[in-house]
């Protein structure tokens, strides 16, 4: 299977703990995106990378959030000092930067902060 994969699929953590999610994009895709989806809403853009460069960050991405894409392959999204409001589905997507606009999504990581 050469689709976008995310790990873990589910994460339950206590408030104040740090969590890290991983995304492996489709191998030939140079663009990688992170979105967050809460109940009843559509996905909301958080940040994106072209290769290893982080090109844009949403205002939703507070200082407690950090994303990396070392070597332009997989990406990690870390949330420090989690809050209950961080509970959401975190979606990763990838695309070919110049071949069209279609972004292909992974299955998501559901975070629950208790």
Site residues for other proteins per CB under 8 A? 4, 31, 33, 35, 40-45, 48, 56, 58, 91, 93, 95-98, 100-108
Q: How far is the CB of 57 from other proteins (least distance, A)?
A: 10
Which residue, 37 or 80, is less far from other proteins as judged by CB? 37
Tokens 């994106």 map to which residue? 48
Instruction: Tell me the C-alpha to C-alpha distance, in Å, between residue 98 and each of 29, 58, 74.
Output: 10, 22, 19
Which residue, 44 or 52, is less far from other proteins as judged by CB? 44
Which residue, 17 or 112, is less far from other proteins as judged by CB? 112
């Amino acid at each position: 299977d050469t689709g976008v994969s995310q790990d873990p699929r589910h994460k339950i953590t206590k408030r104040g703990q740090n969590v890290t999610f991983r995304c492996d994009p489709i191998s030939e895709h140079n663009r990688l995106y992170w979105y967050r989806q809460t109940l009843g809403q559509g996905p909301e853009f958080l940040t994106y990378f072209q290769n290893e460069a982080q090109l844009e960050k949403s205002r939703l991405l507070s200082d407690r959030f950090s994303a990396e894409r070392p070597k332009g392959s997989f990406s990690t999204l870390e949330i420090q000092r989690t809050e209950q409001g961080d509970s959401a589905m975190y979606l990763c997507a990838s695309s070919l930067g110049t071949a069209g606009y279609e972004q292909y999504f992974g299955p998501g990581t559901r975070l629950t902060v208790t």
